[in-house]
Structure 1
Amino acid sequence: MKIETITEAADLLCSMTEAVSSEMCELSEAYGRILAEDVDAVLAVPYFRRSAYDGYALRSEDTIGASEDAPVVLKVTEALAAGDIPQYEIERGHAARIMTGAAVPEGADAVVMHERTIFTEEEVRLTAPLKPGNIVQIGEDVHSGVRLLNQGKCLGPADIALLAGQGISKVKVYRKPVAAIVSTGSELLSPQQTPEYGKIYDTNPYLLGGYLRRYGVTPVHSGIVLDNPKMLSEVIEKALLHSDIVITTGGVSAGDYDYLPEVIENIGGELLFHRIRLKPGGAMLAARKDGKLILGLSGNPGAAATGLLCVGLPCIKKLCGASKTDFRRAKARLTEAFGKSCPVIRVLKGKSSYQDGMLYFTPLENQRNGSVSSMDDCDLLAIVPGGAGPLEKGTMLEVCFI
């Protein structure tokens, strides 16, 4: 099967990807991690009846007929703060002074706010009848036995709080995958080097590494490799030993120094596809060696980021253990005309805005393949179908949040 489109390429990579192994993680460190097992609620939350207010816990039936002229007077049995264990059941003619969050004594079915009473240390006087209420019932937040969180969920603040509410201090999560980034090209310099005429600084490990970190992957830069097939083969084979996926930049087009397809063959890898119908970023390849993926991206930063996000990210999310591997998608209205047509799928980088409940997409000024600034402030990618002509202002586009 010939792979040509974003969807075909992404689906193929996902079909060849399995989640990494799991590990136990302290709950305090679990934010943003991917849950590796289903979690059911063992405890109801709350698991005892709690007072919703400061006031008095009592039997509502004792207040029937209460009025200004004929107040009901109840004897106070005890005072209960949050964390106290009630010592007395509420019997007819009695009440307990109670604070917000404290356990409600047996026999009580109502709590009256203290400002609606007249009270002393020994008794409380009510001048109006009460209905049952102002009590947080058992399981009002979480019922015992229900599915609390599903495997594959990316843990957010509320998820971690739900786990804490079950008395869970450690949680089983997928370990963070390691992605080795290999930069290829004799023209590249590291930021620590002095500028040289005809050479450029290697920005891809920082741009791609940043996106990888955002989605739960630990990037490791395996260095800059000169345009030498033997050297590149050695670096990739070494990187495969110490990572879960290898991402290369450069060497994937059709120039005299684009050696990556040759390197894949030399190391005994299986070439899955080479070049797809996508602009920018279509100059890419994917291969597999020893059960691990090798993703070869363009050396141009803007194109490399597009290829990583549009084609590589779904399988990377699956590698992380995430149950949801696709982007959050929506429809957005184009804020300004885009004058170019394209025979293949084009991905535009842009910024989001909202007006009157409508999502708008504003293309970033610099859409060039080699531009790092094309990704600055980019929070949306617009997918323009292949064969589309110039786009008019107001055109509705499918967009992906990144």
Structure 2
Amino acid sequence: MKQNITVEAALEIVLQQAKPLESIELLPLTAAYGGILGAELSAKVNHPYTDDTAVDGYACLEADTRGASLGNPVKLKVVGQSPAGKPFTGKLEPGEAVQVFTGAPIPRGANAVIRVEDTLREGDYVWLMKPASAADIRRKGDDLVLGQTYLHKGDLLTPGRVGLAAAMGYDQLPVVRRPRVGILSTGDEVVEPGEPLPYGGVYNSNSYSVAGLVLEAGGEPVILPKASDSVEGVRAQLQRAGKLDLLLTTGGVSMGEYDIVRQMLEREGEIHFWKVKLQPGGPLLFATWNGLPLMGLPGNPVSAMVTFLLFGRPFLFKLLGRTDAPYSLLRAVADTPFEANPTRRAYRRAVLRWENDRYRVASTGNQSSGVLNSMAVGNALVVLEAGLLAQPGDSVDVIPFPGAS
């Protein structure tokens, strides 16, 4: 068992144990949002299907309109209409025009469009106050070309990508099955929200904050009933959990005699590492129990959330085969001091904002790992290497919370 390792070494071990899921589900478009695409997708059609108009106006021959102006308008005979979905089926001849509406196919024989605001209709004729142009014609395949790949395995299915898949001709999408992630809180002092809080008790916030992070990262959170402070209680909960792809425990991984998750794994599992050189979250443990990857998050609320963001989120991204990065790193100017840890990398909660063409960042205040409010008001982590503090005006590395940047 490795102990007191760096963040990079710990992340490498975590990712080594993350085996990409092979299970693919075929889902209707409305159920695919937020999922991860499980295969390459190529267009089933050209889009536009044929040359069409990008504006309302009149389709005509460009040669008929040369020299048209307010003082010298050109008169064309209107021989039909072409609204979207009901194209004009005839062929345009010289001296003629067809009224077209946005998205309508360009009639045969036409090679230019004049916008309606540059015309004056007079019965069966239309006066053009300027020359018609091909600039407002959208060419066949301008957006999508039949057979070309536009969506890739591992892509996050955003609304734009789902819409693109629909435009490509798909009514169902192959989506990677969401990993089932068990979340187990330990400790006799932990009480479910809504129940009376006894002397010495604490409400179970970890299960719900971590469940939200799991869901946002693409997993399916499975909140398990609380396990008591005994090896038998934890073991029983794990055995009842069913098929999981990852188990997250909160608490029970430090050095006390009641830290029973670590004790159980020392007897029955394989601990890959215990304790990482970071703050908050140093007691993080990663192990395998009966073939199930188990990440023992610290019990302090902030530590549990920070360590999931740094290690659990990348684990799920690899399971899903996601093409995007689990988190980004950017530079910002510090508006407040940020205290260093003398021996470990520190992740300080902060409020990140964009101001005057640059990112700026300020501390949320009290950085105790028990101050969960800092994760509610904060939207980023300032990263400080061991022994390196930041003063106002310094440039610092920042990890935005998911969705914050």
Q: Aligned pairs, how many?
A: 399
Rate the CA distance shift 1:66–1:187 in 2: closer, same or farther, 3 A.
closer
In the aligned structure 1, how far is the partner of 2:154 from the partner of 2:71? 63
Spell out, residue by residue over 1:195-252, the C-alpha distance to the aligned partner (whole angstroms, 9 max, x if none).
111221121101111111222222111111111112212222332x332111011111
Q: How far has the Cα of 1:340 moved from its partner? A: 4.7
Please state how far the C-alpha of 1:285 moved relative to its aligned partner.
0.6
For residue 67 of structure 1, report the CA deviation from its aligned partner: 6.0
The Cα shift of 1:315 comes to 0.7
Give the letter aligned to residue 160 of structure 1: V
In structure 2, the partner of 1:288 is 288
Does the CA-based 8 Å contact 2:183-2:221 persist in structure 1?
Answer: yes
Residue by residue, what CA displacement relative to the aligned partner does 1:327-369 show, whole Å, maximum 9, x if unpaired? 1110111111134542111111111112211111111112112
- Of the structure 1 ranges 338-347 and 152-161, higher mean CA displacement relative to structure 2 is found in 338-347
Contact in 1 for aligned 2:114/2:131 (Cα 8 Å):
no
Aligned to 1:358: 358
Name the aligned partner's letter for residue 9 of structure 2.
E
Q: Which residue of structure 2 lines up, in the alignment, with residue 219 of structure 1?
A: 221
Q: Give, as a single letter, the amino acid of the residue that structure 2 aligns with 1:195.
A: L
Distance change (3 Å), C-alpha of 1:65 and 1:372: closer
Output the amino acid matched with 1:396.
S
1:35–1:150 contact (8 Å) kept in structure 2: yes
Q: Is the contact between residue 204 and residue 301 of structure 1 (CA under 8 Å) also seen in structure 2?
A: yes
- The unaligned stretches of length 5 or more in structure 1 are none
Q: 1:118 to 1:197 in 2, by over 3 A?
A: closer
Give the match's secondary structure for 2:126. Answer: strand
Give 1:318's aligned residue.
318
Aligned match for 1:207, one of 206, 209, 212: 209
- Of 126-135 and 356-365, deviating more is 126-135
Q: Which amino acid aligns with 1:283?
A: P
Change (3 A) 1:365 1:129: closer
For 1:145 and 1:229, the matched residues in 2 are separated by 57
Compare 189-198 and 123-132 and name the one that shifted more: 123-132
**What are the residue-to-residue correspondences of 1:2-401 with 2, within 5 Å?**
2=2, 4-20=5-21, 21-66=23-68, 72-126=74-128, 128-239=130-241, 241-267=242-268, 269-388=269-388, 390-401=389-400
C-alpha contact 1:315 1:325 (8 A) present in aligned 2: no
State the TM-score, normalized to the length of structure 1: 0.93
Mapped contact 1:297–1:304 kept (Cα < 8 A): yes
Residue pair 2:338, 2:348 contacting (<8 A) in 1 also: no
Deviates more, 1:150-159 or 1:115-124: 115-124
Q: Distance in 1 between matches of 2:98 and 2:225?
A: 71
Quick one: distance in 1 between partners of 2:203 and 2:128?
79
Q: Determine the C-alpha separation between the residues in 1 that align with 2:192 and 2:384.
A: 35
User: CA–CA distance in 2 between the matches of 1:383 and 1:133?
Assistant: 50
Q: Is the 8 A contact 2:340 2:384 kept in 1?
A: no
* Contact persistence 2:331–2:395 (CA under 8 A): yes
| SS at structure 2 position matched to 1:225 | coil
Unaligned runs of 5+ in 2: none
CA distance in 2, matches of 1:295, 1:168: 38
Distance 1:337 1:62, change over 3 A: same
Counterpart Cα distance in 2 of 1:183 and 1:67: 77
Aligned residue for 1:198, secondary structure, equals: coil
- Aligned-residue offset at 1:167: 2.2
How far apart are the structure 2 equivalents of 1:67 and 1:299?
77
Call closer, same or farther: CA 1:72–1:56 in 2, change over 3 Å.
Answer: same
Name whichever of 360-369 and 337-346 sits farther off: 337-346
Q: How many Å apart are 1:308 and its aligned residue?
A: 1.1
1:251, 1:224 → 2: CA distance?
12
Q: CA deviation at 1:317?
A: 1.8
| 2:276 match: secondary structure | coil
Cα distance change, pair 300–122 in 1 and its aligned pair in 2 (3 A): same
Contact 2:340 / 2:386 at 8 angstroms: preserved in 1?
A: no
Letter in 1 for 2:324: K
Asked whether the 8 Å contact 2:44–2:169 carries over to 1, the reply is no
Aligned-pair identity in percent equals 31
Structure 1 pair 57–351 and aligned structure 2 pair: CA distance change class (3 A): same
Matched AA of 2:377: D
Match of 1:218, as an amino acid?
E
Q: 1:73 to 1:376 in 2, by over 3 A?
A: closer
Deviations, residues 56-108 of structure 1 (Å, cap 9, x unaligned): 21111122455677754333221121111222111222221222221111110
Structure 1 76/244 Cα, relative in aligned 2: closer, same or farther at 3 Å?
A: same
The RMSD of aligned alpha carbons is: 2.0
Q: Deviation per CA, 1:166-205: give whole Å up to 9, x if none.
A: 2211111112221111111111111232111122112110
Q: Call closer, same or farther: CA 1:2–1:226 in 2, change over 3 Å.
A: closer
